[in-house]
């Protein structure tokens, strides 16, 4: 169910489920993040069908302007494994339109994600962050994520080896029975 929120310095924002009609805007924001060079090893956003197939339903949210419906950011998760024992562990991505960063949208999207994953019994949300991405570290720390470790020279990005720092958030309620 969509929830309207007023964040500092911007018009009211609705947090709602991501739908296929959001595809162009979601992929545009994704590509803008990739173009910044600090978000992912990927350099091109996939086509919608590939993106859609990789993300778990029920845990895809967008922040949209309440008045216009324009998508300002999104968050979604993928399964980390097809094995049943890892059913409660997901990897997430969160992207905010570069023109709207620093205004609380990332935090609001992570709050929506945490609520939906905990309601579904997911006990761990994880992600990998480039060490140079200080804004992402601060965002995740505020949302209760902790650093698990560093994967050194895990892959090449624009011709050079890069490290990633693995972060996770363990639920205090889901999977604790």
pLDDT digits (tens, 9 = 90+) for 107-134: 999 999 999 999 999 999 999 999 999 9
Helix or strand (DSSP H, E) at 74: strand 71-79
Please tell me the predicted confidence (pLDDT) of residue 11. Answer: 72
Q: What is the mean pLDDT of the chain?
A: 91
Q: How many CB atoms lie within 10 A of CB 141?
A: 12
What span, in angstroms and rounded, lies between the C-alpha atoms of 37 and 134?
13
Segment 40-75, tens digit of pLDDT: 989 899 999 999 999 999 999 999 999 999 999 999
């Amino acid at each position: 169910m969509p929830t309207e929120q007023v964040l500092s310095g911007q018009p009211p924002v609705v947090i709602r489920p991501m739908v296929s009609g959001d595809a162009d805007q979601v992929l545009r924001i994704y590509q803008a993040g990739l173009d910044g060079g600090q978000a992912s090893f990927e350099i091109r956003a996939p086509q919608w069908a590939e993106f859609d197939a990789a993300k778990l339903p029920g845990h895809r949210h967008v922040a949209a302007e309440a008045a216009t419906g324009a998508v300002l950011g999104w968050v979604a998760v993928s399964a980390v494994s097809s094995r049943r024992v890892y059913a409660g562990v997901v990897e997430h991505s969160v992207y905010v339109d570069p023109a709207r960063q620093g205004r609380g949208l990332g935090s609001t999207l992570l709050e929506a994600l945490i609520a939906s994953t905990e309601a579904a019994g997911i006990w761990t949300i994880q992600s990998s962050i480039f060490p140079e991405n200080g804004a992402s570290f601060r965002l995740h720390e505020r949302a209760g994520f902790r650093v698990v470790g560093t994967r050194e020279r895990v892959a090449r990005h624009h011709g050079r080896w890069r490290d990633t720092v693995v972060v996770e958030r363990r639920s205090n309620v889901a999977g604790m029975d």
